[in-house]
Every structure is written in C-alpha cells, then in structure tokens.
Structure 1
C-alpha cells in the first residue's frame, strides 16, 4: 500500500543533475527495507545528447555519506525523447528506486495531469498520486498539460510491477517535484535493481506518444485486438447487457433462489434478445463470501438440482451464465490450508489483512476473511478445480473472478504470474470458457477480455482505446438495482443506480434482488429495451 499523506519533515537536499538539451533537472533516491538514500554529489559526464553519472550514496538530508554501493544513470536525448536508464546496486536488497524531476513547463503543470483512463472532464492538480496497476492508472503513461500543449511521461516495463507517480510541492522546494517510483516484485528482490526505461517527451503529440506506448505494452504483455482475440466467442462480442441475479447475502438472507432467477430471466427475455444478455450470478454458492472458497450451489437457493434447472432454463431461452468466484477471498473456517497461500507483507513478517468488510452491520470488519494468492500452487489448483467442476457438471459459459484487479506485492509468490497460470490452465481444460475479472489494467486485459469497471471510477475515459482496443468492461456488482438501489449481496447497502449512458467499451448492467420484479418491473423492462438497441 502506497501512502500519499506522509512525507519527509526535512529537506533531503538531493543533488540535481542536468539532461541534454532541456531545462529539466533530475535526482535519484534508493530504498531498502530499512532506510532510504540519496546520491552523493558528483560531476556527470556530459557528451552531446548523453549524460552519464556513476556515484555512491548519502543519507537523506546529505548529513553523511554511506558506503553501501553505487548508482549508475544514463540520460539520452534522441528524437525529442529523454530516456533514463537507472541501475542501483546496494549491499541490501533494493525495495524501490525513485526518479525525481524538476523543471517541467510551468504552464503545463498549471493545467494539470491526466492518464488515459482519467475521466474526460478531470485532471490532477496540487498534490496527487497515481499507482500502477490500480484503478487510477491503467497503464504507466501520463500527460501533463492540455492535449494541444502537453508533455508525456511513461515507463516501458516488460513485467507487471508497481510504479507510483507522486506530484507535490514540498515546503522546502520552490517548484513542484515529480516523483516516479519503481517497485520491484518482493518475490524477486535483489541487491541490484535495473529500473525499466523511463521516457519523457516534452511538448508531445499525446495521441502519437500514447499509441507508441501501447505498441510496447501489446508486445510486452500479449495484448490482442478485441475483434480478433481468440478468447472472445461471438456471443460475447454481441453482448449488450449484463443482468446480475443476486443470490444469498453473507448473513444468509436470500434475494433470489435459483427458481426465482429463472423467473427473472423469463421476464428479461420478453424485453431484450436473450442471445445478447449475460447473466451474472454472485452469491450462487450460498452465503456470499462466507462460503469462499468452497464453491457448490447453495442449499438454501435450491442446491445442485435447482442450479441445473436454472442453467437449463437459461440456455433454453438463449442466455449465457457467469457464476462468481473469489479470486483471493477466503474464509479461514472454510479453507484449512489458508496460511500457506495468504498474502503477507513485503518483508514476509506478517499476514496482510487486506479486505475485511462489515457484512452484518455490527460496525466492525469480520475477523475470519483473508486474501489468498493464486500464485501459490495449492490455492491456484483449488480455484481451477472448483471452476472446472461447475463447467463440467452444469455447463456454465463463463466464470467471474473477484478482486483480481488489485495488485499485491506478495514476497512468497508473484501474484500476476499466478493469474496467468490459472487462466492458462482453465483455457487448456475449457477452450470456450469466458473468463472475467473485477477491475482492469493493461496486462490484466491480456488475460481477461471482460471485467467489471472499478467501483466509483469515471467511465467517460480521456482515451478509451486503452480499454476498448483490447477488452470490454461492465458495471460493478455494487451498482444499485432498480428502485431504492439495493446492492444485493454486496456490502455497500443501498446506492442509487447510475443513469444509463452509452460509453465506448462499456456493457450496461442491471441487477435483480427480491423486490425487483414485484415492485420495479417496468424500470427493469425499460433498461432491457434500451440495452437491446445498442450495437
């Protein structure tokens, strides 16, 4: 977890170094698990379009030098692009490396910063922070300034690793300081850290530079165009609506039995072509999240027989079905081997309690919920077997994996590698199975052609092709249902359902709870009819 509301209470007095052919100045800080370090002042070698620096460490604040290794930096100015290559060597494993930039064009800084997935009407000012991979930063590319006059900053990382952009004007600085941190995978931490290439283009053509960045991402992570990617069947390309059929709440409250879900699908089929609808089933396994990661049709909803009848009804009408699974979530009571797979802090000293919702409104998070890492072979095999069993026994068409869009720097297992291996295994067993995830970012979209848009984030993206060129997204589980806006099995309670607006790359969603057909049938029907007009 990165923190934006903490900072040094003194001036680190970083020595600043030049770049060739521009007024930008830079410095570097290096971090281990026990301390942070600045660079010793030194005279870089300046040769034409190249600046080269090799120097040792100093304590932050420059009160003393530290004999712990060295940093080598090369900055090259070519074709209008400044490129940093940074290698940090230290006697202790390197936790992070920070590049600090000063001297960006003042007018651009005043106009603000934006990423491709920033809302079209929004830009970041003052002190702010973006993290990749996360809801805020779908790919490590960012622009500062209006599109007609901006500069761009990007990281060309061939692997999935954490990057943090932090912009502020500290009390000790006369100008804004742009920080870009590279955080190596904790599972591969070493005493030498090679920072992936950092590129700054002053006065850029934003679209051209973004497309250049996306070409790199496509090659690095295997992203394919939506129209031709092999894991997207024709029915998914034609999908115009997702209908969320809420099952059983954590407390045991039942919103819909399997029989009632069938009734809801019959109603929906009267107002939109079922061939263009994907039915999404959260809480089908019984008590939502309480039963995780044990996945069998919930007894209170109708059990195996009721679930088989639901699948039969759905397929007879023409719907596709997508049950929900927890990509990380587990109840320790349900999974005895949880300690082997549980997420741990980056130094592997304690369990990270990452997600503890208050499911029963006692105003405290539940004590037995943990997040497990699919990078751990045993848990990954458990997920693969659970999903496969449902496909083989009942013939479901898709599987949704919750929370996979959250990146965790677990020291025992690389979490993204776990995602990749899980997807690979499921595709090997079930080539036609559609896989979906909560949240999206560049490399994740290469694995999952469908996702739920991050809860509470803007769908009117500045550059929607960062999503729509490769994948599709739909509304979040917590989006309120017709009427007062019950969020069903989700812990948010009640939220007004947002208005339906056509957005590039976005598939509308509507939820069904216990009072939807009885009291809000016409609103549901109108939403279905509207979605049916989409192409």
Structure 2
C-alpha cells in the first residue's frame, strides 16, 4: 500500500481559522516531529484579525484534541494584499521538527472539480479532477517547481512556495468523511541535515480567482524567485553549455552490455552504427549516448572502464576516433547514485540513509535476471559524501583524459533524498563544479529535471512516460534541454536495451520545444530496421536546431 493511501482513522479535530480577504476559505496547521504529530490546541489560541491575522499559541494537542501537550508553540501570520494571501509559520517543539502541514478548505468547488496542474502537467489533463484524491511531490517529474494552480487556466487559483532551498514539498488533496468539504494539504519537510526544535516555514502564497494573465504573471514572479535562489541561467547565456550542444538534433543511444552479460553492441558495432547514422544526419548534430559501456550495466557500477566483452580500452579508443572523424560527440553513462556493493567495498560510508538515519534508502530494486525477485546487492550512494564524489569525479575525468569524451550522463540524479548525513543537492553542485573546473568544455547531463537540478545540469532526460507537451514549457526551455529516456523502445520490437523495462513501444516522433529526440540501437536494430532508423535521422535533421 502506498503512502498516499495511508491516513488517520479518526477525526483529528483540528481548529480552522478564517482567511483575511477570502470569505469562506479556512486554514489550519499541523506540526510533525520525529516522534509524533500534533495539532494546535484550540483553547489556548489567540487570534488577532484584520487584513493581517496573527495566531499565537504555546501549547499543542495530540490529534483528536484528547490531550494537551505543553511544549513549544506556533506563531502564524496570514497577510492579505490585493488578492494575494501569504502564510508565515514559525514552530517550536521540544522534539526535532520533521514536517509542517498547512491545510486549506473552502476553495472554489468549480476550480476543485477542474483539478490541479503544475508547469510540467501535460495539456488536456489535471490532477484530482472532481476532487479525487491525489498527491504530488517536489522535487520530481510531477512537480518540477513549487508552483501549482487549481481550476481552468482562464479561472484558477495559484499556490507558490518561496523556498530558497531544495526541500520536500507535498501537495495532497483528500475528502475525509469528517470534513464537509475537500481538504488541500501543503506539507513542508525541512532538510534532515539541519533538523532542529525550531523552524520557520518558507512563505506560502495563495492567489484566489486568477485569470490566465494574472496566473501567468504569478508564475513569472515565482520563476524570478527561483532563478535568484538557485542560480538558474537562460539557455542562451549558460557558460556550462558547449557550443556544439546548442546544435544537437538527435541523441543516438548505443546500448552496450546488459546486467546479465548479454552484449547488444561491441564498440566496433557502435562505430558502424555511427557511420550509418551520419549518412542521414550531419555528424556534428549527433550526440551518442553510451549506457552499459562499462561492462555489465549496473552490475559494474561504480567502476567505469570500457567493458572487455565489448572491446576494452582499445576498442573504446577506436570508437572515440571514429566519432571524432564523423563529428559525433560521445556521452558515456555513469551512475550518479547506483552501486554494486561487491564492486565498491566502501559503500556503507556513502549509502543513502533515511531521514532519521535508521536504515538504507533504496531508489529501486530491479529484477535484472528475470527470476521475478529483485537483486540484493544494488544500493544507492550519496554524491554529497566526499569519497564517493571524488571517485565519480576521477572516473569521469579518466575517460576525458584518455578518450576525449565530450559529455557525461549521470543516472538517477533526478531523484531527491533527504539524507541526514550529507545534503544531496550540495553534493550535486560540488560534483558538477569539480568536473567543470577540470574540464570546462564537458557537457553534464542527468536523468530527470526540475528547477534547481536544471541550474546544475543543462541537459536532462524525461522520465519515461512523462507527457512532453507540458503546460508551461518555459519552465524547462528557458534554461535547459531534455532528451528521451533511456527506456524508450528501439525501432522494431521496442527493446529497451540495458534498461530493466524489457520491451516498450517507441513513442512517435513529435516536435516539442526544447526536446531532443532519441533513437536507440540494439543488436537487431540496423540489420532489421535500417530504413526506419534512417527516416528518424532525416526527420531529426529537418526539425532540429542547426
């Protein structure tokens, strides 16, 4: 059962308070520590009303209001200014604060029926239509920046969290039986690395009854804040984008060796594939992406040397020479987190931990060999841990020095973790900074994208299945570019190559602003589907940047 299905089995009896300038809209607050969840004690609350509501209390109540807890307190200010509401919430407790939840009820029923959308929501659909339960989390593919709207674009209300740090934000809608109307929850989760007994929640802003133009202006204001907080630069002026990358029109995924040892392409076969591709699109507009170049995909992680079964260092050097002759750029794939414990004995020092440092966090546990049981030796490491980060930097640098690779793709970095030992985002920033200090012309790409990640990596992959026709494409295209995911099926039967998805139909080629199309090559692709590959190359040449 997923977390979205977990709920209280009783009425927590939270007190709700009026909102200035918004008749009928009410709000409440819950505070969560590492030991328990707490509501506001209704009896001890002092509320001063007007255009600015101030709430003070020096006591909590356990959910259900059965027992009062005389520890810490809450101070909340709600300000109304020309249609914009802003919550400032400060909490104290004897126990470390784990999360704070702002609850809203009484929003427009018409808007709630239309559903919620974010900048990365696909056109024509929404979350929570007809007030159905849903949950989205920042940072992630469903919520790439902490701004959301409810209602039709022409008549909506907008939410914005003005957080200068990358911290978990959760937007949840449900209609519990004890509430007369649906309840919107906005949960803020502070960084575990700096957890304390006192915390100030970043400002939460709600604009009611916005037109399309007003909502768009609100979104622009949010993005201006994000740009300043995370150092986002516009694509045209980014110093971390080599000039060749601005002209890339096609990514060719040359699958190497599967976890089981099955070889899709040797390095010599990869070179032949590039010779074929460049007959149909100019080589300088092609980026060759190399997953599984290191040998058994994921099994060899995080040891990154050219796999012997594909031709070893000599074969990889020959592939690099061919690519240079053709004008093609090479982008091997590295694990931003992944590791086989048998290949990295120091894994426990850097393994990702849960927010209370009690257990190891797993991103996933694929069944690589199809025995229908997930493998047991795959873990995920934190690039914020200095030794693992140094290992990644040196592994990538070695391939730049020895083979002249042009780019490095870092797997899984789009997944964020609240590790209490090392800040994951700080680790990503340091990783990128150290690589660029050594290799200023090296393009860095990551799996996934969201606002702060795009500030570090100018190129990212769309998660498989994410609708590319997003509502506000400039949340991406103003700053970065994306490519199709590794798991996009290849021409023919749709093999996903080294990926664990097996076979998936290749999605149709469509022009999306800021998106670079992908064609994957496995062992049977060119022998059996050469004309389809050629057609894809020609289409990309005609429709891509020059």
Alignment partner, residue 174 of structure 1: 180
Cα offsets for 1:176-225 (capped at 9, x unmatched) = 10000100111111001110000000112221111110000000000010
Partner SS, residue 172 of structure 2: strand
Alpha carbons of 1:107 and 1:469: their partners in 2 closer, same or farther (altered >3 Å)?
same
- Pair 1:54 & 2:56 matched: yes
Partner SS, residue 506 of structure 2: coil
Cα offsets for 1:52-110 (capped at 9, x unmatched) = 01112101011111112101100111132100000110001000000001111111111
Alignment partner, residue 259 of structure 2: 250
Alignment partner, residue 520 of structure 1: 529
Residue of structure 1 aligned with 2:363, choices 354, 363, 383: 354
Cα offsets for 1:332-361 (capped at 9, x unmatched) = 000010000001121111222332111110
Task: Give me the whole-angstrom Cα distance separating, in 2, the residues matched to 1:206 and 1:530.
Answer: 36
Count of residues in Structure 1 that have an aligned counterpart in Structure 2? 535
Aligned residue runs from structure 1 range 301-316, under 5 A: 301-316=310-325
Task: Give me the whole-angstrom Cα distance separating, in 2, the residues matched to 1:425 and 1:171.
Answer: 53
Alignment partner, residue 34 of structure 2: 33
Cα offsets for 1:152-171 (capped at 9, x unmatched) = 01100000100000011111
Shift of 1:47: 4.6
Alignment partner, residue 5 of structure 2: 5
Alignment partner, residue 78 of structure 1: 81
Residues 15-24 or 157-166, more deviating: 15-24
Shift of 1:295: 0.5
Cα offsets for 1:357-376 (capped at 9, x unmatched) = 11110001110000000011
Alignment partner, residue 105 of structure 1: 108
- Pair 1:129 & 2:131 matched: no
Task: Give me the whole-angstrom Cα distance separating, in 1, the residues matched to 2:270 and 2:517.
Answer: 19
- Pair 1:154 & 2:160 matched: yes
Task: Give me the whole-angstrom Cα distance separating, in 1, the residues matched to 2:283 and 2:48.
Answer: 66
Task: Give me the whole-angstrom Cα distance separating, in 2, the residues matched to 1:392 and 1:203.
Answer: 57
- Pair 1:329 & 2:335 matched: no
Shift of 1:46: 3.1
- Pair 1:491 & 2:500 matched: yes
Task: Give me the whole-angstrom Cα distance separating, in 1, the residues matched to 2:48 and 2:216.
Answer: 32
Shift of 1:477: 0.2
Task: Give me the whole-angstrom Cα distance separating, in 1, the residues matched to 2:357 and 2:180.
Answer: 39
Task: Give me the whole-angstrom Cα distance separating, in 1, the residues matched to 2:77 and 2:530.
Answer: 64
Aligned residue runs from structure 1 range 234-249, under 5 A: 234-249=243-258
Residue of structure 1 aligned with 2:146, choices 140, 147, 153: 140
Maintained 8 Å contact 2:21/2:83: no
Maintained 8 Å contact 1:265/1:314: yes
Task: Give me the whole-angstrom Cα distance separating, in 2, the residues matched to 1:169 and 1:470.
Answer: 38
The CA RMSD measured in Å over matched residues stands at 1.1
Task: Give me the whole-angstrom Cα distance separating, in 2, the residues matched to 1:143 and 1:522.
Answer: 45
Task: Give me the whole-angstrom Cα distance separating, in 1, the residues matched to 2:133 and 2:410.
Answer: 34
Partner SS, residue 68 of structure 1: coil
Alpha carbons of 1:472 and 1:488: their partners in 2 closer, same or farther (altered >3 Å)?
same
Aligned residue runs from structure 1 range 457-496, under 5 A: 457-496=466-505
Task: Give me the whole-angstrom Cα distance separating, in 2, the residues matched to 1:69 and 1:43.
Answer: 13
Task: Give me the whole-angstrom Cα distance separating, in 2, the residues matched to 1:228 and 1:411.
Answer: 35
Residues 514-523 or 45-54, more deviating: 45-54
Alignment partner, residue 371 of structure 1: 380
Task: Give me the whole-angstrom Cα distance separating, in 2, the residues matched to 1:179 and 1:28.
Answer: 9
Alignment partner, residue 395 of structure 1: 404
- Pair 1:66 & 2:69 matched: yes
Residue of structure 1 aligned with 2:277, choices 268, 276, 280: 268
Shift of 1:2: 7.9
Alpha carbons of 1:201 and 1:44: their partners in 2 closer, same or farther (altered >3 Å)?
farther
Shift of 1:43: 4.9
- Pair 1:15 & 2:15 matched: yes
Maintained 8 Å contact 1:17/1:44: no
Task: Give me the whole-angstrom Cα distance separating, in 2, the residues matched to 1:499 and 1:72.
Answer: 53
Maintained 8 Å contact 1:280/1:321: yes
Shift of 1:488: 0.4
Task: Give me the whole-angstrom Cα distance separating, in 2, the residues matched to 1:412 and 1:460.
Answer: 38
Task: Give me the whole-angstrom Cα distance separating, in 2, the residues matched to 1:67 and 1:387.
Answer: 54
Task: Give me the whole-angstrom Cα distance separating, in 2, the residues matched to 1:504 and 1:72.
Answer: 45
Maintained 8 Å contact 1:480/1:496: yes
Residue of structure 2 aligned with 1:456, choices 460, 465, 489: 465
Residues 327-336 or 15-24, more deviating: 15-24
Partner SS, residue 39 of structure 2: strand
Alpha carbons of 1:362 and 1:450: their partners in 2 closer, same or farther (altered >3 Å)?
same
Residues 256-265 or 40-49, more deviating: 40-49
- Normalised by the length of structure 1, the TM-score is 0.99
Alignment partner, residue 432 of structure 1: 441
Maintained 8 Å contact 1:44/1:51: no
| Superposition misfits of 4+ residues, deviation over 4 angstroms | none
Maintained 8 Å contact 1:71/1:89: yes
Gaps of 5+ in 2: none
Partner SS, residue 95 of structure 1: strand
Partner SS, residue 410 of structure 1: coil
Maintained 8 Å contact 1:274/1:319: yes
